[in-house]
Structure 1
Amino acid sequence: MTEKLSEETRGTLLKPLFQSGWKMVDGRDAITRTYHFADFVDAFGWMTRVAFWAEKWNHHPEWFNVYKSVKVVLMTHDVNGLSALDVKLARKMDALAPQVEPVGD
């Protein structure tokens, strides 16, 4: 069963994500990041690649696509907050995204 991140592991696991552009969501125990791509096809292609991993891991993001931007929110609904699954999926998303500077939400 998935467990909510403990206070002890939270800092260690989340710090690298914050350095890559992820942020805490105000009012929720969730993280968010907006990815920007060259065009709609690149954005949609990235979403498709991420979808395969999300399905494999049975952990699905909240995401919103407008043209060449994709805003992602990750949290584990079963624990009403962040879990190791969110960290794992965030890392995979970063690995699959083109290397660009993070842009604020």
Structure 2
Amino acid sequence: MWKEEDNNLKRSFQFKDFKEAMAFINDVAEIAEALNHHPWWSNVYNKVEIQLTTHDAGNTITELDHKLAAQIDEVYKSYEA
């Protein structure tokens, strides 16, 4: 579940292994590039942390962040199956 904290939308994701986490990151990167809205993220082994904020709006949460978050959730669902 996404949390609003410090003008960011934040969420943690967990995968079966590092390879799956990296595949998820690459899938999300395609969407982020298409939206021209790039997340801050980190990856340690099978965990991915993502933060979304809109720099052009003064580093605050906008509809674009919510749109990307929803699309990231859809990508993640395909890994949960």
Is the structural similarity TM-score above 0.5? Answer: yes
Whose strand fraction is larger, Structure 1's or Structure 2's? 2
Question: Deviations for 1:43-72, whole angstroms, at most 9, x for unmatched residues?
Answer: 000000000110111000000000000000
Higher helix share: 2
1:74 to 52, 59, 64: 52
Report the TM-score when normalising by structure 2: 0.90
Alignment of 1:5-16 (within 5 A): none
Q: What TM-score comes out, normalization by structure 1 length? A: 0.71
Cα distance in 1 for residues equivalent to 2:15 and 2:29: 17
Paired residues in the alignment total: 78
Name the counterpart of 1:17.
Answer: none
Q: Which runs of 5+ in 1 are unaligned?
A: 1-20, 101-105
5+ residue gaps, structure 2, are none
CA RMSD of aligned residues (A): 1.2
Task: State yes or no: 1:23 paired with 2:19.
Answer: no
Runs of 4+ in 1 over 2 A off after TM superposition: none
Output the CA distance in 1 between the equivalents of 2:34 and 2:2.
23
